[in-house]
C-alpha cells in the first residue's frame, strides 16, 4: 500500500493509505467526525489520500450536525423496533436538533414520545458500531425493497447516476444516507424528543402525510438541560403571552389576523412610528398618504393581479372589483406620475405608514409576527441610475442607526439576478456591483444568495439578531427596474430627454407590528426607559400621601415623562410587586418622610431600592435618561 502524508494540528505524520482517522486521533473521546480535503468524513472511513485532518467535536457546527444526524437515525431505529411496519421518509439534522419523517399506520401523540425515547436510550446502551456501506443502485433498491421502505426506494431512484450510493448500518437497522455519522451509537449521551407533528412527503399536500418527530440530543445531560432551559426562557418571552400580561394588545376571533391595541401597546407602537419619522425627516424623506383601496385596473397594471391576487382582500361593489392595498408602491408610482419630474427632483424619497392588508392563509397567522392587517415603515426612493450607490449607502446608514438603537446586531444577505430576470442585463450587473461596493464601503460582512433576487431587481435582506441569538428578517432593500416600466415613469434629464427612474423599495423595521413583537421578545417585555409605555409609577405608601403623589406626578408630566400614580388602598409591597411584574422601569415610593422633605424614594426595575433624592433632582435626571436612545 502507498504511503500518505497526514497533517494534524500542524504535525505531519506518514501512514499507509487506508488508515482510518480514528486510528490517528490525538484525543479519542471528543472527536465525532473528521474534516479532510473539503469534506466531512466518518472517523472509520479509510483515508485514500493524505491531507490536513481537522477533527470535529460537538463544539463545531459541522460536528453537531453529524451528532444530530446520527440521533435522527437512532430515532428511526427506535421507531422501527416499536412499529415494524413504519416506513421511513427523511431525517435531517437541524440547527439545534433533528427530526425524522416517518409514515406510521396510526397517528402518534406526544404521549408516545417517552416510549420512543426509552427505546432510543436502550439502543444507545447497546452501543452499536455505525458502519458505512457503499452500494450499487440495484443493491440499494433490493435492500430497501426487502425492508418495505418504499419511500427510500423512491429516493434511490432519484439519485443521479454518477453519485455514490451509501447506507449506514447500526445493529438491526440500515438507512440510506450519504453520511457522515458517529462511530458508535453510545456517544449520544442525552436526548429528548420534543414534539410530533405532520408533514407531507416531499412537502407536497398531494403526497401522504408523514409523522414528523422532533428531538434534540447532546453528548451529556448538562448540555441538554441548558438547551431545554433556553427553550423555556424563549417560551416565557413569547410576545403573545407577554403582550397579554402587559396589556399591550389582544386578538379576537371577530377579526382574525388583525391586532387590537390596548393603550399601552398603542403608546409603544406610536413611539416606534415616530422614531422612524424623526430619523427619516432628517434624511430628506417626505411622508405621504395614499389611498388604501384601488380599482382592479391598478393591480393589473402593477402586476399584483397576476402574482399576488390570492393575497389581496377584494371588495365587490357596483359590478366591479377593488382591492385593499398590500403595499404602497403603486400609489407612490401614481404620485410620481402626477407631475412632470425633473432630474433635479431626484432622488425623491416618499415615506408612508398607511395600513396594509394581505390575506394570509389561516394557518400562517402567528401573533404579531404574521398578521393580515399591518403597517410598515415603508418608503420608495425614485432615483436616477447614477444615484443608486449613494442612496443605498444612506439606507444602510439608517438600518445601522435603527438596529443599534435597539441593541441588535444584524446580518446582511445580497440576493442577485435570478434566471427569470426582467430588464437590461447591463443595468443589473452595474446595480449588483454597486450594491457590493456599498456594502464593502460600510464595512459590512455579507453573504451572497446567488440567483435569489426578485425578477425585477437585486435585493438586500437584513437579519436582526435578538438577545436570544435568533435571526429575524426585518429590513429589506430592493432595487426595482420593472415597476417604473409598468407605470411608464419618466423624468426629464439634463439633456431634455425623458428617462426612466429606478425605484428602491425599502423598509427598516418592516412591519411595525411584527417589529414590536420581536422587541417584546428581545427585551422580555422590559422596554428601555425611552420606549416604555409607562416610564415611572408613583407609589404612595398610605392615603395621606396622595396629594404629594399628585404633585410628583405633575412635575414629571411637565418634564415629558409618562407617569402613573398607584393610589389604590394596598400595601407598598403589593404595589411594588405589581409594578415589577408590569416591568415599569422606575418606581417612586413616597411616604410621610418624602412628603415632609420633598424627596422621592427611587426604586428601579433592575436595581431595586436606590434611595431617596430631592424631587427636582430626580425629575431632571429621569428626563435626561429618557432622552438617551
Partner RNA sequence: GCUGGCGUAGCUCAGUCGGUAGAGCAACGGUUUCGUAAACCGUAGGUCGUCGGUUCAAGUCCGACCGCCAGCUCCA
Q: Report if residue 263 touches RNA, rule: CB under 7 A.
A: no
Local structure of 251: helix, strand or coil? coil
Tell me the CA distances in angstroms from 166 to 20, 36, 159, 169, one per residue in order.
18, 19, 11, 10
- In the bound state with RNA, the residue whose beta carbon lies nearer, of 479 and 541, is 541
- In the bound state with RNA, the residue whose beta carbon lies nearer, of 181 and 459, is 459
Cβ atoms of residues 435 and 392 within 8 Å: yes
State the nearest-atom distance from the C-beta of 480 to RNA, in Å. Answer: 9
Which of 364, 289, 271 is closest to 328 using CA atoms? 289
Q: Which of 170, 280, 322, 376 is catalytic?
A: 376
State yes or no: is 235 an active-site residue.
no
Residues 146, 205, 318, 339: which binds RNA (CB under 7 A)? 205
Residues 240, 375, 384, 625: which binds RNA (CB under 7 A)? 240
State the nearest-atom distance from the C-beta of 89 to RNA, in Å. Answer: 12
State the nearest-atom distance from the C-beta of 619 to RNA, in Å. Answer: 17
Q: Report if residue 419 touches RNA, rule: CB under 7 A.
A: no
Q: Report if residue 314 touches RNA, rule: CB under 7 A.
A: no
Residues 181, 212, 237, 506: which binds RNA (CB under 7 A)? 212
**Can you read off the three cell numbers belonging to residue 518?**
420581536
Interface with RNA by CB under 7 A: which range of 223-231, 398-406, 423-431, 571-579? Answer: 571-579
Say which residue the cell 460600510 belongs to.
442
Residues 253, 319, 339, 419: which binds RNA (CB under 7 A)? 253
Q: Report if residue 471 touches RNA, rule: CB under 7 A.
A: no
Q: Which of 73, 181, 304, 358 is catalytic?
A: 358
Q: Counting Cβ atoms within 10 Å, is residue 559 exposed (0-12), middle (13-18) or buried (19+)?
A: middle
- What are the φ and ψ backbone dihedral angles of 349, each rounded to 5 degrees? -110, 110
549: preceding bond cis by omega (within 30 degrees): no
Q: Report if residue 524 touches RNA, rule: CB under 7 A.
A: no
Q: Report if residue 374 touches RNA, rule: CB under 7 A.
A: no
Find the length of the chain: 629
Tell me the CA distances in angstroms from 53 to 1, 36, 43, 283, one per residue in order.
20, 5, 11, 53
Number of C-beta neighbours around residue 608 at 10 A: 10
Q: From residue 85 to residue 124, what is the string marking binding to RNA with x (rule CB under 7 A)?
A: ----------------------x-x---------------
Say which residue the cell 427596474 belongs to.
481
Q: Report if residue 463 touches RNA, rule: CB under 7 A.
A: no
State yes or no: is 80 an active-site residue.
no
Q: Report if residue 303 touches RNA, rule: CB under 7 A.
A: yes
State yes or no: is 177 an active-site residue.
no
Number of C-beta neighbours around residue 562 at 10 A: 18
Q: Report if residue 298 touches RNA, rule: CB under 7 A.
A: no
Q: CA-CA distance, 554 to 556, in Å (whole number)?
A: 5
Interface with RNA by CB under 7 A: which range of 382-390, 513-521, 549-557, 600-608? Answer: 600-608
- In the bound state with RNA, the residue whose beta carbon lies nearer, of 105 and 443, is 105
- In the bound state with RNA, the residue whose beta carbon lies nearer, of 343 and 455, is 455
CA-based Rg of the chain, rounded to a whole angstrom? 31
State yes or no: is 370 an active-site residue.
no
Interface with RNA by CB under 7 A: which range of 250-258, 269-277, 439-447, 530-538? Answer: 250-258
Q: CA-CA distance, 3 to 18, in Å (whole number)?
A: 9
Contact residues for 458 (Cβ-Cβ < 8 A; gap 6+): 414, 415, 416, 417, 428, 431, 432, 435, 478, 479
- Give the DSSP letter string of 195-250: EEEEEEGGG-TTSPEEEEEEEEEESSHHHHHHHHHHHHHHHHT-HHHHHHHTT-EE
Q: Please tell me the count of residues contacting RNA according to CB under 7 A.
A: 62
Interface with RNA by CB under 7 A: which range of 76-84, 85-93, 362-370, 427-435? Answer: 362-370
Q: Report if residue 57 touches RNA, rule: CB under 7 A.
A: no
Q: From residue 381 to residue 410, what is the string marking binding to RNA with x (rule CB under 7 A)?
A: ------------------------------
- In the bound state with RNA, the residue whose beta carbon lies nearer, of 64 and 575, is 575
Contact residues for 624 (Cβ-Cβ < 8 A; gap 6+): none
Q: Report if residue 355 touches RNA, rule: CB under 7 A.
A: no
**Can you read off the three cell numbers belonging to residue 121?**
436510550
Local structure of 187: helix, strand or coil? helix
- Give the DSSP letter string of 381-450: EEE-GGGHHHHHHHHHHHHHHHHHHTT-EEEEEEE---TT--S-HHHHHHHHHHHHHHHHHTT--EEEET
Q: Report if residue 362 touches RNA, rule: CB under 7 A.
A: yes
**Which residues are near RNA by CB under 7 A?**
107, 109, 195, 197-200, 203, 205, 209, 212, 240, 244, 251, 253, 256-257, 302-304, 307-308, 327, 329, 360-367, 454-456, 541-544, 568-574, 576-577, 580-581, 587, 589-594, 601, 603, 608-609, 612
- Active site positions, annotated: 329, 358, 376, 378, 380, 459, 505
Amino acid at each position: 500500500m502507498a504511503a500518505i502524508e497526514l497533517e494534524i494540528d500542524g504535525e505531519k505524520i506518514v501512514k499507509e493509505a487506508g488508515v482510518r482517522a480514528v486510528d490517528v486521533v490525538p484525543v479519542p473521546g471528543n472527536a465525532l467526525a473528521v474534516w479532510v480535503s473539503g469534506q466531512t468524513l466518518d472517523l472509520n472511513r479509510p483515508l485514500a489520500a493524505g491531507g490536513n485532518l481537522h477533527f470535529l467535536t460537538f463544539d463545531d457546527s459541522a460536528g453537531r450536525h453529524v451528532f444530530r444526524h446520527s440521533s435522527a437515525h437512532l430515532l428511526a431505529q427506535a421507531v422501527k423496533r416499536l412499529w415494524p411496519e413504519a416506513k421511513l421518509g427523511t431525517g435531517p439534522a437541524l440547527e439545534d436538533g433533528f427530526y425524522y419523517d416517518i409514515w406510521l399506520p396510526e397517528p402518534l401523540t406526544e404521549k408516545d414520545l417517552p416510549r420512543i425515547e426509552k427505546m432510543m436510550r436502550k439502543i444507545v446502551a447497546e452501543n452499536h458500531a455505525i458502519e458505512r456501506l457503499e452500494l450499487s443502485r440495484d443493491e440499494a433498491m433490493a435492500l430497501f425493497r426487502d425492508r418495505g421502505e418504499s419511500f427510500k426506494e423512491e429516493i434511490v431512484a432519484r439519485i443521479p447516476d454518477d453519485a455514490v450510493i451509501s447506507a449506514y448500518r447500526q445493529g438491526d437497522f440500515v438507512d440510506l444516507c450519504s453520511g457522515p455519522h458517529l462511530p458508535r451509537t453510545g456517544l449520544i449521551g442525552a436526548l429528548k424528543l420534543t414534539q410530533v407533528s405532520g408533514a407531507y412527503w416531499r412537502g407536497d399536500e398531494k403526497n401522504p402525510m408523514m409523522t414528523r418527530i422532533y428531538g434534540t440530543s447532546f453528548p451529556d445531560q448538562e448540555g441538554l438541560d441548558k438547551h431545554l432551559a433556553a427553550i423555556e426562557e424563549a417560551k416565557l418571552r413569547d410576545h403573545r403571552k407577554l403582550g397579554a400580561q402587559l396589556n399591550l394588545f389582544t386578538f379576537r376571533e371577530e377579526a382574525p389576523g388583525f391586532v387590537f391595541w390596548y393603550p399601552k401597546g398603542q403608546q409603544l407602537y406610536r413611539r416606534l412610528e415616530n422614531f422612524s419619522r424623526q430619523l427619516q425627516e432628517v434624511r430628506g424623506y417626505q411622508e405621504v398618504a395614499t389611498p388604501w383601496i384601488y380599482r382592479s385596473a391598478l393591480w393589473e397594471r402593477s402586476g399584483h393581479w397576476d402574482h399576488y391576487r390570492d393575497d389581496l382582500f377584494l371588495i365587490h361593489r357596483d359590478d366591479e372589483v377593488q382591492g385593499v392595498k398590500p403595499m404602497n408602491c403603486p400609489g407612490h408610482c401614481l404620485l410620481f406620475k402626477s407631475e412632470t419630474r425633473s432630474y433635479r427632483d431626484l432622488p425623491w424619497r416618499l415615506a408612508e405608514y398607511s395600513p396594509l392588508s394581505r390575506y394570509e392563509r389561516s394557518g400562517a397567522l402567528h401573533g404579531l409576527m404574521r398578521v393580515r392587517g399591518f403597517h410598515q415603515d415603508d418608503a420608495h426612493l425614485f432615483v436616477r441610475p447614477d444615484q443608486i450607490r449613494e442612496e443605498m449607502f444612506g439606507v444602510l446608514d439608517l438600518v445601522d442607526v435603527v438596529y443599534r438603537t435597539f441593541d441588535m446586531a444584524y446580518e446582511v444577505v445580497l440576493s442577485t439576478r435570478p434566471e427569470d430576470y426582467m430588464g437590461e442585463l447591463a443595468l443589473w450587473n452595474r446595480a449588483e456591483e454597486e450594491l457590493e461596493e456599498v456594502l464593502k464601503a460600510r464595512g459590512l460582512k455579507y453573504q451572497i444568495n446567488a440567483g435569489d433576487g426578485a425578477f425585477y431587481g437585486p435585493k438586500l435582506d437584513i437579519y436582526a439578531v435578538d438577545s436570544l441569538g435568533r435571526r429575524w428578517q426585518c429590513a429589506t432593500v430592493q432595487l426595482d427596474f420593472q415597476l417604473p416600466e409598468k407605470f411608464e415613469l419618466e423624468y426629464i434629464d439634463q439633456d431634455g430627454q425623458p428617462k426612466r427612474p429606478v425605484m428602491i423599495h425599502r423598509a427598516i423595521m418592516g412591519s411595525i407590528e411584527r417589529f414590536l413583537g420581536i422587541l417584546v421578545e428581545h427585551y422580555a417585555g422590559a422596554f428601555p426607559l425611552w420606549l416604555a409605555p409607562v416610564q415611572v409609577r408613583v407609589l404612595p405608601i398610605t392615603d395621606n400621601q396622595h396629594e404629594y403623589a399628585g404633585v410628583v406626578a405633575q412635575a414629571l408630566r411637565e418634564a415629558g415623562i409618562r407617569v402613573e400614580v398607584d393610589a389604590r388602598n394596598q400595601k407598598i409591597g403589593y404595589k411594588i410587586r405589581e409594578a415589577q411584574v408590569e416591568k415599569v422601569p422606575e418606581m417612586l415610593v413616597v411616604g410621610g418622610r418624602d412628603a415632609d422633605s420633598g424627596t422621592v424614594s427611587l426604586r428601579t426595575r433592575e436595581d431595586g431600592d436606590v434611595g431617596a433624592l430631592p424631587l427636582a433632582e430626580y425629575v431632571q435626571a429621569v428626563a435626561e435618561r429618557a432622552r438617551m436612545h
